[in-house]
Amino acid sequence: MIDRHDQNSKTKDYLTSIEECVSHEIRAHDYETLHEEEELEQLLLQNDQEDNSTSVLTQKDMNTSFPRRKLNLHQAEISEKTFSKNDLRRHRNKKKGPLDAGYNSEEVELLFEIEEGVISDSCNEAVEKKKHSHRKRFNIHQSKLKTTIWQKKHFLSCLVTIGLFNLLLLTLKLKYKSKSAQLNTKMSSNGTALFAPTTILISLDGFRPDFLSRGITPRLNAMREEGFSPVYMRPSFPSVTFPNHYTLVTGLHPESHGIVSNVFWDGYLKERFYYTKPDAMNKKWWGGEPIWVTAEKQGVKTAVHMWPGSEAHIMDIEPSYLDKFDFKTTMKEKSEKVLEFLDMEAHQDSSDQVMRPQLIAAYVPHVDADGHFYGPNTTEIRNTISGADNMVNEIYQGLEKRNLTDIVNIVVVSDHGMATTDIERMIQLDDLLDLSKIDHIDGWPLSGLHPKSGVDVDELYEELFQKAALNPNFDVYLRDKNMPERYHFSNNKRIAPIWIVPVTGWAITTKEEFDIRESKLKGLQYHPRGLHGYDNEHPLMHSIFIARGPAFPHIPSNRIKPFQNTEVYNIICHTLGLVPASNNGTLHLPLLPIDPQEPDFIHELPSDLEVDLVSTAPKDQDNTITSLPFKTASPKAVSSENQESTVESNSSNTSKFLTIDHDWIANKEDELWKWFMEKTAQIKSWYDKSLA
């Protein structure tokens, strides 16, 4: 029998030791309490299994094993558990971990005595308080654990819901794309063969809108009446051939696709792009996605005839049929080539590929070449303009013979206009600055200046700006500071830091290229006689857009608001049912007429538009024109221009092609993604707060 005084003394000593336990001992006690029942159940289960093969200890055996004291009835009931707990104690001692290190054997023995009820009632009360505190902390821990698990499940369910919603939206988008593709690949019969939607794109380089008013373009004028055409189309700045032809087929401003001029220096590559050199057809120069790549990626075959950039292996995707540039090719041969593509068989070849191209793009340089050589207001250029119209007429007659005028779309565009030059409208670059400060000069007739290392760009600009203030025939701009926003000509490091932009009809040249004073003394004339590259808003730089076919139903008033050539890519894509790549355009088919109350968009025609009916041999040149009205944008008042055209959709239009508003879908995706990120942030914040 244990003396009560000794028992109380031991209890007090134990309680004192408990209070003096370090934090890791308390945690060990918690650990013992939390996992005791689970391990006890496992041990009891194990003992039950062993009872089948071994004898069970009798009550006498148990009394012999534990002779400390005679148990009362209550203690006898506890004694039945003592066997299990002692076994449990031995079991734990075998796998004792770091948390058990704070207890010695006597403390553990005393702890079990307390739990088994062999200590006095007063001690039991104190111990019960401790156990109650432990259970309370355990319950709090379990509650937090359950809350955390619930929060994680709720968070995951939110993520799954949002993911499913995104998947649904993507499925709908793909469904509409598939529906659009199925409709647009529906074959149409001309009576002898089946044709998928087909578009012919023809570029007449250097063809000015007013050329249509000279009475020598009956086919182009008829197409305007049967289809539709704005009064003019704006080229991109600078209004030169390579940047604008690549804009036509990518929908990107030159600053975005990287072909910023016919000639430019790339400071990163330490190389010079020159449009007539073979290296210009290296894909390293060409950004963006041209329409033949867009089409081929979506299973639409293309045929490209001499289009600038088509030989550059852009994105390592080639047109199905490619004609390399050959300046000797006549316009007659070009029209025949286009019709040859249409006459290809539509059946599938051995590789299950459709043979006939659905997009035919052809480049015609003759008007531009003769405009440069003779000037835009001469007898010679009239013959070239008439020849270009005859070429288009041959293609149209070929469509009529094949019964394809209501199946095949034909779109005629140009890249820019043309202005007359004269030796009296020349600026000597050497007189404006010290050329020894310049490393590279880009562009022509504009001048993009790359100063040498160590030359202060701002000081050089200020010097030129002061001279521009005294000479109204040119302006000077800094790429990164006051370049007119409407030019979209600053967001590319290939663009020279300083640009000298002459007034339309004026040209800038170095003495090495053309000495103005010496040439005047000798009676020489400046060549070329026609130039472009000026302000893209000037009427002489405007281009044309004429479209006819099933995707371009006639608009009775024929009044279409002028738009920029960045829109052509989207328009051609939609005629073929293609999904356009990202671009700077905004227009989609069908195009709608402008309000009849809106004024016409025809500018007052400059004097350069007066047609000269005599030949342009040097003796016959009329040099009386010394200046052309319409100055470029002032560097002191940079203004931005709002986009002129808006996206319209009209299901009642007679177009045979389904118009899917992909922009709407893209915008909705953007909105959904923003909403998703906001909700994710909110859930994360709520989750973090709940754990705090």
Which carries the bigger pLDDT value, residue 167 or residue 88? 167
Tokens matching residue 297: 């990626």
Q: CB-based contacts of 659: which residues, under 8 Å, 6+ apart? A: 574, 588, 589, 590, 649, 651
Please provide the distance, in angstroms rounded to a whole number, between the alpha carbons at the two ends of the chain: 52
Q: CB-based contacts of 209: which residues, under 8 Å, 6+ apart? A: 231, 232, 417, 542, 543, 544
Lowest-confidence range among 88-102, 608-622, 674-688?
A: 608-622
- pLDDT tens-digit map of 309-362: 999 999 999 999 999 999 999 999 999 999 999 999 875 544 555 589 999 999
Q: Is residue 575 flagged as an active site residue?
A: no
* Homologous superfamily in CATH for domain 199-247+288-418+532-613: Alkaline Phosphatase, subunit A (3.40.720.10)
Asked if the peptide bond before residue 98 counts as cis, ω within 30 degrees of 0, the response is no
The H-assigned helical ranges of 546-640 are: 568-575
Residue 102, pLDDT > 50, answer no
Q: CB-based contacts of 549: which residues, under 8 Å, 6+ apart? A: 199, 227, 405, 406, 407, 408, 409, 410, 411, 575
Q: Map residue 577 onto helix, strand or coil.
A: coil
Residue 75, pLDDT > 50, answer no
Residue 467, pLDDT > 70, answer yes
Instruction: Identify the pLDDT of residue 172.
Output: 61
Instruction: Count Cβ atoms below 10 Å from residue 575 Cβ, excluding itself.
Output: 25
Determine which helix (DSSP H) or strand (DSSP E) holds 28, and give its type and residue range. Answer: helix 23-51
Average pLDDT, integer, range 220-227: 94
- pLDDT tens-digit map of 481-519: 999 999 999 999 999 999 999 999 999 999 999 999 999
Q: Of all residues in the chain, what percent carry a pLDDT higher than 90? A: 53
Residue type, 7: Q
Tokens matching residue 679: 């909700």
Of 550, 593, 545, residue with least CA distance to 569:
545
Catalytic one of 241, 378, 632, 659: 241
Asked if the peptide bond before residue 528 counts as cis, ω within 30 degrees of 0, the response is yes
Confidence of residue 555 (pLDDT cuts 50, 70, 90): confident
Average pLDDT, integer, range 66-76: 43
Residue type, 627: S
Instruction: Identify the pLDDT of residue 649.
Output: 32
Pick the CATH number of 422-527 from 3.40.50.300, 1.10.1840.10, 3.30.1360.180, 2.60.40.420: 3.30.1360.180
Q: Identify the burial level of 374 via C-beta atoms within 10 angstroms of its C-beta, where 0-12 means exposed, 13-18 middle and 19 or more buried.
A: buried
Q: For residues 529-552, b (16+ Cβ closer than 10 Å) or e, as one string? A: bbbbbbbbbbbbbbbbbbbbbbbb
Residue 561, pLDDT > 90, answer no
Average pLDDT, integer, range 263-274: 97
Tokens matching residue 631: 């100055």
Contact 234, 542 (CB under 8 A): yes
Instruction: Count Cβ atoms below 10 Å from residue 173 Cβ, excluding itself.
Output: 17
Tokens matching residue 74: 């209550």
Lowest-confidence range among 31-45, 171-185, 248-262, 460-474?
A: 171-185
Q: CB-based contacts of 61: which residues, under 8 Å, 6+ apart? A: none
Confidence of residue 656 (pLDDT cuts 50, 70, 90): very low
Angle (CA) 394 550 179, round 5°: 135
Contact 355, 347 (CB under 8 A): yes
Instruction: Identify the pLDDT of residue 464.
Output: 97
Confidence of residue 290 (pLDDT cuts 50, 70, 90): very high
Q: For residues 198-228, b (16+ Cβ closer than 10 Å) or e, as one string? A: bbbbbbbbbbbbbbbeeebbebbbbbbebbb
Of 235, 238, 279, residue with least CA distance to 260:
238
Whole-angstrom distance, CA of residue 383 vs CA of residue 366: 11
Whole-angstrom distance, CA of residue 599 vs CA of residue 596: 8
Tokens matching residue 302: 């293309």
Which carries the bigger pLDDT value, residue 650 or residue 366? 366
Q: CB-based contacts of 647: which residues, under 8 Å, 6+ apart? A: 586, 587, 588, 661, 663
Lowest-confidence range among 106-120, 461-475, 641-655?
A: 641-655
Tokens matching residue 406: 């209501």
Instruction: Identify the pLDDT of residue 47.
Output: 58
Average pLDDT, integer, range 110-128: 54
Average pLDDT, integer, range 632-660: 35
Of 509, 407, 419, residue with least CA distance to 189:
407
Average pLDDT, integer, range 647-659: 32
Q: Of all residues in the chain, what percent carry a pLDDT higher than 70? A: 62
Query: DSSP for 431-479?
Result: GTS-GGGEEEEE-SSSEEEEEPTT--HHHHHHHHHHHHHH-TTEEEEET
Query: DSSP for 100-138?
Result: GTT--HHHHHHHHHHHTT-S-HHHHHHHHHHHHHHHHHH
Whole-angstrom distance, CA of residue 592 vs CA of residue 561: 9
Mean pLDDT of the chain: 78
Whole-angstrom distance, CA of residue 413 vs CA of residue 53: 100
Whole-model pTM?
Answer: 0.65
Angle (CA) 42 46 47, round 5°: 120
